[in-house]
């Protein structure tokens, strides 16, 4: 049996580990909101949701000019529709069954396609490495700054030190779940 350094991972591996860290191994709805107001089985914040769809205040695609999310984000339009026939996603739906798991995974995939594109592609092909899993875990927990390894080890920006520490602790939990 190969060690974790040689093992190849799939999206399902990382998604299961993220969910277990966020809401437990056998979590069922309703999910308690997180300390910062995160919702759903993957504990997604409004800012993460907005960033995943690349939305500005009006809900339009293509703008990075919005530094803070509005109180209730505009719906994100799903290009080509969603497998369940949904054509738009509201943030609040990330905690509502029967959509919560599928929509949350969709949002995570959009977010990772933006901030960990190569790693996500390898995971989708079941060719992800432990390094890919680490990056996706860190970005999910610590945000876009965690896509750069330099921000994990010795962040030059003092504001990133706390984020790096939190993301490192998060990564350790994911790694333990993966038996690595």
**Within-domain flag for 6:** no
**Within-domain flag for 32:** yes
Q: What is the dihedral of CA 115, 118, 123, 124, to 10 degrees?
A: 90
- Overall average pLDDT of the 30-49 stretch: 90
> Model confidence at 50, in pLDDT bands (50, 70, 90)?
confident
Q: How many domains does the chain have?
A: 1
List of long-range contacts for 118-125, beta carbons under 8 Å, 24+ apart? 120/11, 123/9, 123/10, 123/11, 123/13, 123/14, 124/10, 124/11
**Within-domain flag for 52:** yes
pLDDT at residue 59 is higher than 50: no
* pLDDT tens-digit map of 132-180: 999 999 999 999 888 888 777 777 777 788 888 999 999 999 999 999 9
Provide the angle, in degrees to the nearest 10, between the axes of the packed helices 159-177 and 130-142: 130
Q: Which domain holds residue 115?
A: 11-177
Q: CA dist 164 to 45, 73, 100, 159, Å?
A: 18, 27, 28, 9
**Within-domain flag for 3:** no
Tokens representing residue 169 in the block: 């602790």
Task: Judge whether 78 and 86 are in contact, CB under 8 Å.
Answer: yes
pLDDT at residue 61 is higher than 60: no
**Within-domain flag for 104:** yes
- Residue 76, pLDDT score: 55
Q: Which residues pair with 61 in a beta bridge?
A: 55
**Within-domain flag for 4:** no
* pLDDT tens-digit map of 69-123: 334 444 555 444 444 455 567 888 888 877 788 889 989 998 998 899 999 999 9
For position 160, which CATH number holds? 1.10.530.10
């Amino acid at each position: 049996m190969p060690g974790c350094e040689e093992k190849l991972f799939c999206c399902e591996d990382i998604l299961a580990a993220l969910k277990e860290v966020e809401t437990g191994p056998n979590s069922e709805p309703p999910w308690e909101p997180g300390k910062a107001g995160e919702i759903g089985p993957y504990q997604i914040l409004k800012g993460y949701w907005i960033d995943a769809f690349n939305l500005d205040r009006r809900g339009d695609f293509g703008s990075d000019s919005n530094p803070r999310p509005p109180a209730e984000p505009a719906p994100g339009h799903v290009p080509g529709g969603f497998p369940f026939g949904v054509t738009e996603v509201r943030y609040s739906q990330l905690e509502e069954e029967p959509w919560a798991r599928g929509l949350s995974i969709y949002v995570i995939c959009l977010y990772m396609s933006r901030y960990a594109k190569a790693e996500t592609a390898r995971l989708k092909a079941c060719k992800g490495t432990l390094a890919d899993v680490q990056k996706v875990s860190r970005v999910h927990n610590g945000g876009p700054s965690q896509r750069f390894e330099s921000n994990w080890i010795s962040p030059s920006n003092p504001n990133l030190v706390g984020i790096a520490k939190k993301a490192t602790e998060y990564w350790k939990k994911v790694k333990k779940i993966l038996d690595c």
